Amino acid sequence: MGKKTETAENAAHLQRLYRMVLTIRRAEEALAELLAEGLIPGFIHLSIGQEAIAAGVMDVLAPADTITSTHRGHGHAIAKGMAFDAFFAELLGRDPGACRGRGGSMHVADVSKGMLGANGIVAAGIPIALGSALAHQVLKRDAVAVAFFGDGAMAEGLLHECLNLAALWKLPVLFVCENNRWGEFLETAHQIVFTLEKLATAYGVPHVAVDGNDVAAVAEATGRLVAQIRAGGGPMILECDTLRVGGHYEGDPQRGRDPADQEKAAARDPVTIARRFLTEDVISRIDAEVANEIAAAIAFARAAPEPGWADAAASVYAAQS
Amino acid sequence: MTELRYNHAVNRAMADAMAADPTVVLFGEDVAGAGGVYGATRGLRDKFGPERVRDTPISEAAIVGMAVGAALSGLKPIVEISFIDFMTFAMDAVVNQAAKMRTMFGAQCSVPMVLRTQHGGGAGSGPQHSQCLEAWFAHVPGLKVVCPGDPASAYGLLRAAIDDPDPVIVVEHKGLYATRVPEPDALPILPIGKAAISRPGRDLTIVSYGGALRAVKDVANGLEAEGIEAEIVDLRSLQPWDEAAVLASLAHTHRLLIVHEAVEAFGVGAEIAARMADIGFDELDAPILRVGAPFMPSPVAKALERRYMPNHDTIMAAVRRLLA
């Protein structure tokens, strides 16, 4: 490959990464507005400040790879390829939503795209990713499963059970910790006495730390780890250092949080970092395209019909032939 | 004469399903090497290999959660949880994940997994190894629950559970594993949600399931000598349960007794009684009665456990009240 082609490919890659980081950011900013407008049922957890992790990890994954997500899962769903119309319609609780308006923010899922669900229960997605990895292994698929979780899940017993099991069975699973330093309303420094790196050593699972706000770094590290997992290397851990810009949920008054902590988060903005190597022209072109896509999806969602009762009530069990 | 043992029927159901479908896998604590605490999985690893039949660590939450993910990704997992009491550690995966996914994800998928477990007293196993917790699962929309009371049901219901696209909890009974019947001519797959009339009768209906059927049958035999004909409805499935069969029986006996080993309060019997009081009200010649365990943890001592479990005397006393 000539140097010119390589440079062009690299430029296209950086643009793709930036586009996804920005897409997640703008989508979630729009969600905050839609929530304020009263159009979103329930509450939502935004990943503003953490977008580079979803964008970077998913950039490496193939369609056959599977992921499980968390309560902060909008970015994972979007980056794994959930259709934008279906995403916004789901968040607004409309019939053409990805889950027909029954799951909403905390349960966005597109199984056909390998997105096995955001999850309202901390750590609950991790064993589901392991099971998906088991299926890849038993059915001899060249696929990996990725379990996203936050540092708030580190004190859940499930994570420990799953690290042991994944290592024991050499499952093709990547554990991705989005360490944003908060577990719900309390800094994890006040919840957890160990580090993920030490835990990884205990279970004999390789651990790699990366700047989770640098999308190119996340993609690069994920690429290396996923290649090893595909080659039969067993489970790996990618710990992404990041910062939660907002509160636990949108509207969280964040009592007791030092404002300096939020300023620190803003200073490491993944969108700004992803722009580093792009020209002004490219940036404004991508910004405009993303804004248009989001506007169109929101218009679709606003106009979409409410779900019907009969369909919803009939969906509890599969129809029996 | 060849005979069919309950635990062998369970084993055969899994073997037949695994032979028919390469996506069926089995994992759980001690299912591969030891062949299961009650021997129901013996020989399956030899037959189907260590890839499909696996021992797990003692991590109920993780292994049931794994079953959910495996089911979403193309396998049909069977998980054995050796005592239903241990399901407490796996409740998130069962209740929040497996049960809800079909509805919660807008019917884009089903979760075809089977959880085999066993319940029941009579072995002095004590308060953490004897509970009958099936009503918990029957209370959760999205789950199916079956409770086989004999070897043929153990085979037929488990095959149906493995074929089913939705999560099914198969609750066997530790006191039944060694029971045997003459080898049946055929072992059909039994539809989930259908009860069986295990004994026809005209004077009263006794609805029961699982291990409690033994005492119920003894009582019915005793009543026969007095010229009283009890009809026994073996529910087989608790969720969904065969409302039509119970109502049809009630419609010709006009008296209803429900017997189960689980704690009586807030149990399966309460649901059946409430439904029959509603849709079967005109058929009733007497109040609906229930016999279940008292509202206390199950004790170890033989003398206490005998009294704790529904038995010939407590069931007979209820029958007398019903016929009085």
Residue boundaries of the structural domains of chain B: 3-182, 196-323
What is the dotted CATH code of the domain comprising B196-323? 3.40.50.920
pLDDT at A12: 94
With an 8 Å Cβ cutoff, the interface of chain B facing chain A consists of 23, 25, 51-52, 54, 56-57, 59, 61-75, 77, 92-93, 96-97, 101-110, 141-142, 144, 165-166
SS3 (DSSP) at B134: helix
Q: Using an 8 Å CB-CB cutoff, list chain A residues near B69.
A: 66, 68, 116, 127-135, 145
Partners of residue B166 in chain A, C-beta under 8 Å: 317-318
- The pLDDT of residue A320 is 58
Residue A228 in this model has a pLDDT that exceeds 90? yes
Nearest CA in chain A to B57: A165
Confidence of residue A264 (pLDDT cuts 50, 70, 90): confident
Q: What is the pLDDT at residue A76?
A: 98
**Nearest-CB residue to A102 (from B77, B104, B109):** B104
Say how many Å lie between the first and final Cα of chain B, rounded: 44
pLDDT of residue A1: 53
Nearest residue to A149 via CA among A192, A100, A204: A192
> Any idea what the Cα angle at residue A142 is, between residues A151 and B106, rounded to 5°?
60
Q: Quick check: A259 pLDDT over 90?
A: no
Of the candidates B129, B134, B173, B260, the residue annotated as catalytic is: B129
Mean pLDDT, chain B, rounded, equals 97
Residue A4 has what pLDDT?
78
In CATH, the number for domain B3-182 is: 3.40.50.970
Higher-confidence residue: A275 or A246? A275
Given the residues B8, B29, B60, B119, select the one marked as catalytic.
B60
| Whole-number Cα distances in Å, A68 to A94, A211, B115, B275 | 23, 21, 22, 40
Asked about B80 being catalytic, the answer comes back as no
Helix H or strand E segment including A228:
helix A215-228
Q: In this structure, are residues A96 and A86 in contact, taking their beta carbons and an 8 Å threshold?
A: yes
Judged against a pLDDT cut of 90, whether residue B299 lies above it is answered with yes
| Alpha-carbon distances of A251 from A4, A263, B7, B21, B211, rounded to whole Å | 48, 18, 56, 50, 53
Indicate the residue of A66, A103, A130 with minimum beta-carbon distance to B62. A130
> Confidence band (pLDDT; 50, 70, 90) for A9?
confident
The pTM of this model reads: 0.97
Please report which confidence band the pLDDT of residue A321 belongs to, taking 50, 70 and 90 as the band edges.
Answer: very low
Task: Check residue A267 and give its pLDDT.
Answer: 85
Identify the three-state secondary structure at position B79.
Answer: strand
Which domains does chain A carry? Answer: 3-307 (3.40.50.970)
Tell me which of A187 and A145 has the higher pLDDT.
A145
Q: Nearest 10 degrees: CA dihedral of B32, B109, A164, B137?
A: -70
pLDDT in tens, B187-235: 999 999 999 999 999 999 999 999 999 999 999 999 999 999 999 999 9
Mean pLDDT over A151-163 rounds to: 97
Q: Is B227 left (phi over 0), alpha (psi -120 to 50) or beta?
A: left
Cβ–Cβ under 8 Å, residues B58 and B25: no
Same fold, B3-182 and B196-323: yes
- Sheet of A236-241, strand order: A66-68, A145-150, A173-179, A236-241, A207-211
Express the helix, strand and coil content of chain B in percent, nearest 5 each: 40, 20, 40
Average pLDDT over residues B255-267: 98
Q: Give the Cα separation of B3 and A283 in Å (integer).
A: 77
Q: Which residues pair with B205 in a beta bridge?
A: B231, B256
Q: Are strands B230-234 and B196-199 parallel, antiparallel or unpaired?
A: antiparallel
Query: Taking CB atoms and an 8 Å limit, are B71 and A168 in contact across chains?
Result: no
B252 is catalytic: no
Cis before B112? omega within 30 = no
